[in-house]
Amino acid sequence: MLEIYSSYCFRNPLPSIAVFITLLPLILIVLRKAYLDPSFKLLLVYLIIKLLVDVIMLCSAANHQNNILFFNLAIPVNYAFLGGMFYFKFDSPSLKKGLVASVIVFFAFTAWDIFNSNSEISDLHNHRAVLFAKTVEGVLIITLILLFFYEIIKSLQIPNLLTFPFFWICSGLLLYYSSFIFIAPVLHYTATWKPSVDMGITETIPTIFEIVCALFFSVGIYHFSAADYAKQ
Amino acid sequence: MQNSEELKWALLIASLAMLTMAFCMISFVMYYQKRRFEEEKRISDIEKNYNRMLLDTALNSEETERRRIAQDLHDDIGTMLSLTKLSLNQLSKMVGNSGNEKEDQIMKKSQTLVEETILHVRRITRDLVPTTLERFGLMEAIEEFIHKLEEDNNLAITFQANTDDFPRQGQKLELTLYRIMQELVNNAIKHASCSKIDIRLEINDQMIGLKVTDNGVGFDPEKIKENNLAGLGLLGIESRLAIVNGTVQYEKPEKGGASAFAQIPMMPVSDSKPEPLHPFRRERVNI
């Protein structure tokens, strides 16, 4: 059994690294006690869920089983946790309200998209990736990041962004979702048993930036100081 | 197949363009934030310098005014009192010759009053302009100040310095330390109900420190600063220190009383000798 997984990992090193590198920010959050900050607590939950989903997907892929269902189901959950992080960082109450509303609406939208993209929902073997939801998730997350950047520039409360943990989290997410935003809708056609389009190296770009994103998360969490947070 | 290749390239280029935009956005936020902070810092520095200049000017004006009053007291009132004393002496001789005892008593009382007034005027003049400070330096000025206080009050004041040969400092620095010492000691006498005051002067390569400790009732500096009138003295100390980049710390020792520790960074002493601070010259003080 272990041989199947190890041989899959050797055959697909980049996606495997992208799965297990999640452990790095996860461990750092615990070690640096970053979970004291509610945003980082949500990031911890997000990373745990992401790791679980990725491991399940890796096992399914190694056993030649369709794992797209997990990819689809993870989309609204990811947005709920990532968006939730911004809930605690925004100052504006109207933005907070809009964020909560967007999470609820996005859950409904993803559910519709899953059904819309799969006419035979019970046929898990031929289950396909959502057509719009992943792209919309990317657009929403990028919007939240830009709004947060606008707020920090406007408030002028952070003297050095390079030592501000959440700036690294935002930068990592911005790079990852920017790399994925154009590829996401194409996955509906390519991530199937019989793909009609071969994306080649383009498909590895989001994987590379998933790793970069995890590294950015780690740098941000490394800069987190529990003592300084307690003083705030 | 042709369409697939084109789509692949299109996606690759679009993704790379999006990534470039993301990188640019992150760099822009960092650059813009840094620039805004630098601008804010520059404005804050200008404001700080302006406030410091205002304070400096206000304190210079205060010193000039003190000198003017001291001069007027000495030159006008002092001279007139001396003449009055002279006239009274002459009159006293005349009254003494007449043999009227009551007139003689009134005359002696008048002479005593005039002499006392002359002494008071001298004391006020010396308090207004610390001539000893500029002539002999900080240690001598503090010793003189203590000596005068001990004469007038039932107080035990001790003064110590970590060196016997205390080098002369710039005029502004010496005057600042002297005025702060004056304010702290006067505060201790007025408000602390203390019987003992300890003044300590410390000097090293970088800093000059002045510590005034008393055994009185103690105080909370923050609460006093909140009270506009009572906090003026402490604010005055902080204002004087702000001009010379100094700091002050207030402590409440465990054994009781209060302690204030002012620190001023050493300033290069100019080669030219300071202008003598003398009440008998009409000149503008420029500290």
pLDDT by residue for chain A (232 residues), tens only, comes to: 778 888 888 888 999 999 999 999 999 999 999 999 999 999 999 999 999 999 999 998 888 888 889 999 999 999 999 999 999 999 889 999 999 999 999 999 999 999 999 888 888 888 888 989 999 999 999 999 999 999 998 888 888 899 999 999 999 999 999 999 999 888 888 877 776 667 778 888 999 999 999 999 999 999 998 877 755 5
Q: What are phi and psi of B158, to 5 degrees?
A: -110, 145
Q: Collapse the DSSP code of B202 into the 3-class scheme (helix H, G, I; strand E, B; otherwise coil) and give the result.
A: strand
Judged against a pLDDT cut of 70, whether residue B1 lies above it is answered with no
Q: Which of B168, B171, B180, B284 is nearest to B240 (CA)?
A: B180
Average pLDDT, chain B: 83
Let me know if residue A4 belongs to a domain.
no
Residues of chain A found within 8 Å of residue B18, distances taken between Cβ atoms: 178-179, 181-182
Residue closest to B156 by CA, chosen among B209, B202, B199: B199
CB distance B118 to B86 below 8 Å: no
Answer yes or no: is A6 within a domain. no
From chain B, the residues in CB contact with A174 under 8 A are: 22, 25-26
Range B115-119 average pLDDT: 92
What is the C-alpha separation between B216 and B210, in angstroms, rounded? 19
**What domain range includes position A57?**
18-231
**Contacts by B250-254, CB closer than 8 A, 24 or more apart:** B250/B219, B250/B221, B252/B218, B252/B219, B252/B220, B253/B213
Look at residue B257 and tell me whether its pLDDT is greater than 60. yes
The greatest distance separating any two alpha carbons of chain B, rounded to the nearest whole angstrom, comes to: 142
Q: Residue B226's pLDDT is what?
A: 67
- Whole-prediction pTM: 0.68
Q: Kindly determine whether residue B11 and residue A199, on different chains, have CB atoms separated by under 8 Å.
A: yes
Instruction: With beta carbons under 8 A apart, name residues in chain B contacting A150.
Output: none
Flag if A174 and B26 touch (Cβ within 8 Å): yes
Flag whether A89 is in a domain.
yes
Tokens of B277: 């601070």
- By the CB < 8 Å criterion, does A162 face chain B? yes
Q: What pLDDT is recorded for position A83? A: 95
The residue whose two tokens read 């302009």 is B129
Is A3 contained in some domain? no
B245: left (phi over 0), alpha (psi -120 to 50) or beta: left
What ranges make up the beta strands (E) of chain B? 156-161, 196-203, 207-214, 247-251, 258-265
pLDDT band at B145 (very low <50, low <70, confident <90, very high): confident
User: Which residues make Cβ contacts (< 8 Å) with residue A104, sequence separation at least 6?
Assistant: none
Of the ranges A135-144, B118-127, B238-247, the best mean pLDDT one: A135-144
- Tell me whether residue A11 is in a domain: no
Out of A183-187, B165-169, B230-234, B240-244, least confident range: B230-234
Identify the contact set of chain B against chain A, taking CB-CB distances under 8 A.
4, 7-8, 11-12, 14-16, 18-19, 21-23, 25-26, 29-30, 32-34, 36-37, 40
Chain A contacts of B23, Cβ < 8 Å?
Answer: 175
Report how many domains make up chain A: 1
Chain A residues within 8 A of B1 when measuring between CB atoms? none
A100 contact B CB<8A? no
Q: What is the ipTM of this complex?
A: 0.88
Q: Which residue of B has its CA nearest to A163?
A: B30
